[in-house]
Structure 1
Amino acid sequence: MHKGCAYHGSVPKLPDIARNPLAFIAARWTPSPVAVRRAALAALVMSVVIVITGGAVRVTASGLGCPTWPTCNGDSLLGTREMGIHHTIEISNRMLTYVLCATVGWAIIAVRAQQEPPRRSLYRLAWAQFWVVVLNAVWGGLTVLTKLNPYVVSFHFLLSAALITVAVLTWQRTREGDASPRPLVGKPVRQLGQLLTAAAALLIVIGTLVSGAGPHPGESSGSYTVRRIPVDWRTIAQLHADFAWIVVGLTVALWFVLRAVDAPVGPQHRVRELFLVLMGQGVIGYVQYFTHLPAALVDLHMFGACLVWIGTLRVLLSFRERPPAEPGATVPAAATAPAASRVSA
C-alpha cells in the first residue's frame, strides 16, 4: 500500500465493476491529495509532450508517413517497417495518443476516488480533458484525410492549446479548495491580465498561420503537393514578432503595476516567470528566423509556445485564491474585497 493512500479490501464482483468501474475503484481506494495533484500534472506534461512529437512529425516531413486514418496503411493499423523512417515517426506520435489517454484516465480515476469531500467541478474538468483528447485525435485523422490542409493542421494545434488550457485548470484546481474564488488584486489589474491573455492567444493563432505558410508543409516525398496558406510567410512572421513584443510589453507593464500596488508575491512571481519564458522564446524565434527555420528550432519553438501559454494562464489564475470550503460558513465582506495589501499568495 502506498503511503498517503487508503485501501479497503473486499472480494471484487465482476457485475459491480462492469456497472460502474470508477465508483468501484473509489469505494476501495482513496488517493492522497499529493497523488491527485501528481496525476493532474502528469496529464498536463503529456499534453505538452504530444505537441512536441506532433511538431516533430511536421518538421521531419512525416505527416503522411501513415497515408490513411484510422488505419496506417490500407487495412494495417500499424503499418510496416518497410514504409520507412517517416512512417516510424508518424506511428510513434499516434501511439503516444494512447499514453496521453492513459494519463488523463489516471487523473480522472484519482479525482473520482478522492471522495472527501466530492469535488464535482474538478471531476468535470478532468473528464473535459478526455473529450478534448478524443476530439483532437479525430481532428488529427482529418489532417491526414485532407492531405495536410494547412488550415486543418493549424486548428489541430489550437485544439492542443485547448487541451493544455483544461489541463492547467485541472492541475490548478487540485491545489485549491472549493470555496468561491477570492480576488487577490483589484479589478484594473485583473483586466490588464485578461488583456495579456487575449494578446497571448492571438500570438498563438498567428503562429499557426506562420507554420501554415512556412517552408515545412509536413510531407516531402514528392508524391503529393501539400497546400500552403497563400501569403508570404515572412510577412506573417513579422506580424507574429510584433504581437510577441506586445505580449512582452503587457507583461512588463503588469509586473510594474503589481509592484506599485504592493500585490501578493504569488502574482508577481508568476509574471516574472512568464517574462523569462517570453525572453527565451523570443531568442529561439529570432534565431530560427535568421537561420531559415531549421527543423529542430521550429519544434523547440512549438515547445516554447506551450510554455508561454501555460505561463500566461498561471498569471491569470494567480489573481485569485480558493481556500477549502467550510460547510455553513459565510464569506465575510472583507475577504471578497481586492487584497492588494496582502503579502502572500
Structure 2
Amino acid sequence: MASVDTPVNDALQRRLSIANLVAQVGIIVTGGAVRVTGSGLGCSTWPMCEPGQFAPVFHEESTWHPIIEFGNRTLTGVLGIIALALIWSLYRKSAPTRRDVRPYAWAVLALIIVQAVVGGISVWVTLHPAVVGLHMALSLGLVSLSTYLVYRLYRPRATDPAALPRLETSLHVAIAAVKVAVAIIGVVVTGTGPHSGDADKPYRFAIDPLFITRIHAGAAWVLVILVAIATYLVAKRSSLAARPWLVVVGVLLAQGLLGYIQYFTGLHPALVVAHMLGSGLTVVAITWAIARSYALDTRSNSREPNSRLGL
C-alpha cells in the first residue's frame, strides 16, 4: 500500500504559498505590460533605474515608461518578501514541522534572485530576445514550482508513483516535456514579433514569424491531444481524478482560442498580455493535475475528507 504525506493545516503557510503563486503569475502580467508598452528600457540601467538614481525622477518631459518598468521591478521585491515570509512560516516554532516543503520554499527564493539578475542583464544587453525569453521561462518555472508548493501544503501526496499505470506516468512526462517546448517556442514567437519591449531599439530574432508561429501552434495541438488522452485514461479509472485534467483541457482550449484571436487581429497588446497570463495559468493547471494524480484518494472514486470539488 502506498504511503501518504498528510497535509498539515497551517493557515499562515497556506495563505503565504497562495500569495506567492498569485504574485508569480502577476509578474508575468506586469512583465507583459512592460513589453507591449515598449517600457523595457524605461529604466536605462540595473539595479539602479538611472545612474545614481534608484527610482525614476519625474519632470515635465517624463513619460510613463519608467513608471511601468520600475513598477515591475518593485513587484520582484514583493515576491522576495513573500518568499522570505513563507520560509519564516515554515521554520517558526509554533508551526507544524514541514521539512518536506522547506526545500521548495528555498528554491522559490533562489529562483526569484536569479530571475531578478536575468531581468537586469536583459536591460544591459538592450532587451536581447534570448535573454528576455529566458526571463519569461524562469517565470513559468517559478509558477510551476509555486503551484507544487501550494499543492504540498493542501494535499496529501502518495509516495509510490509506481501505483499508477505506466502509461499514465509516461503521459505525464510527455505532457510536461511538450508544455516546456510550447513555452520555449512561444518565447521565440514573441522574439520575432512587434513587441520587443522598447519601441526605439527593437531587437528581434531573424526567423520568419509565420513559420515559427505555425510550429508553436502545432506543438500546442500535440499538447492538447496528449492531455485529452490522459484525461480519458484517468476518467476510466476515477471520475474524481479526472476533474483536474478537465480543468487543464478547458484552460488549454481557451488559451488556444486566445492565441488564434490575437494572431488574426494583429497581435493587439491587450490580447498578447492575456495570452501570457494564459500561459501562466496553463502551467498552474498542468502542474496541479499531474501532482494530484499521485494522491491516494484519486485512485478510486473515494473522496478525500478535505477535498473541494475534487481538485
Match among 59, 84, 101 for residue 105 of structure 1: 84
Shift of 1:342: 4.8
**Higher Cα radius of gyration:** 1
Among all aligned residue pairs of Structure 1 and Structure 2, give the percentage whose two residues are the same amino acid: 32
Contact 1:281 1:301 in 2 (8 A): yes
Work out the CA distance in 2 between the residues paired with 1:317 and 1:196.
13
Contact 1:183 1:320 in 2 (8 A): no
**Cα–Cα, structure 1 residues 177 and 192, in superposed 2: closer, same or farther, change >3 Å?**
closer
Matched, 1:229 2:195: no
State the SS of the aligned residue for 2:100: helix
What amino acid is aligned across from residue 281 of structure 1 in structure 2? Q
Q: What is residue 181 of structure 2 aligned with on the other side?
A: 202
Contact 1:183 1:319 in 2 (8 A): no
1:124-183 deviation line (CA, Å, top 9, x unaligned): 111111110000001100000000001000001011111112211211111245873566
Q: What is residue 64 of structure 1 aligned with on the other side?
A: 41
Q: What is residue 29 of structure 2 aligned with on the other side?
A: 52
Matched, 1:298 2:275: no
What amino acid is aligned across from residue 55 of structure 2 in structure 1? L
Shift of 1:113: 2.0
Q: What is residue 287 of structure 2 aligned with on the other side?
A: 313
Match among 143, 149, 160 for residue 139 of structure 2: 160
Contact 1:181 1:321 in 2 (8 A): no
Q: What is residue 274 of structure 1 aligned with on the other side?
A: 248
State the SS of the aligned residue for 1:120: coil
Deviates further, 283-292 or 180-189: 180-189
TM-score (norm 1): 0.81
1:171-201 deviation line (CA, Å, top 9, x unaligned): 1111245873566632211211221111111
Match among 189, 196, 201 for residue 217 of structure 1: 196
What amino acid is aligned across from residue 67 of structure 1 in structure 2? S
What amino acid is aligned across from residue 238 of structure 1 in structure 2? R
1:82-113 deviation line (CA, Å, top 9, x unaligned): 33111111011111111111221221122222
State the SS of the aligned residue for 1:81: coil
Work out the CA distance in 2 between the residues paired with 1:181 and 1:168.
21
TM-score (norm 2): 0.89
Work out the CA distance in 2 between the residues paired with 1:86 and 1:175.
40
Contact 1:213 1:228 in 2 (8 A): yes
Work out the CA distance in 2 between the residues paired with 1:115 and 1:71.
39
Deviates further, 78-87 or 105-114: 105-114
Work out the CA distance in 1 between the residues paired with 2:141 and 2:257.
25
What amino acid is aligned across from residue 45 of structure 1 in structure 2? V
Contact 1:181 1:322 in 2 (8 A): no
Alpha-carbon RMSD across the aligned residues, in angstroms, is: 2.0
Q: What is residue 40 of structure 1 aligned with on the other side?
A: 17
Work out the CA distance in 1 between the residues paired with 2:64 and 2:88.
36
Q: Which has the higher contact order (CA 8 A, sep 6+)?
A: 2
State the SS of the aligned residue for 1:299: helix
Matched, 1:263 2:246: no
Unaligned regions of 5+ residues in structure 1, if any?
1-30, 324-338
What amino acid is aligned across from residue 249 of structure 1 in structure 2? I
Q: What is residue 192 of structure 1 aligned with on the other side?
A: 171
Work out the CA distance in 2 between the residues paired with 1:115 and 1:275.
41
Work out the CA distance in 2 between the residues paired with 1:145 and 1:215.
20
State the SS of the aligned residue for 1:193: helix
1:213-255 deviation line (CA, Å, top 9, x unaligned): 11111111x3xx3321100112111111111111111111111
Shift of 1:340: 4.5
What amino acid is aligned across from residue 313 of structure 1 in structure 2? T
Shift of 1:282: 1.0
What amino acid is aligned across from residue 146 of structure 1 in structure 2? V
After TM superposition, list the pairs within 5 Å mapping 1:73-152 onto structure 2: 73-82=50-59, 83-113=62-92, 117-152=96-131
Work out the CA distance in 2 between the residues paired with 1:85 and 1:320.
47
Unaligned regions of 5+ residues in structure 2, if any?
1-7, 305-311
What amino acid is aligned across from residue 78 of structure 2 in structure 1? V
Work out the CA distance in 2 between the residues paired with 1:117 and 1:243.
43
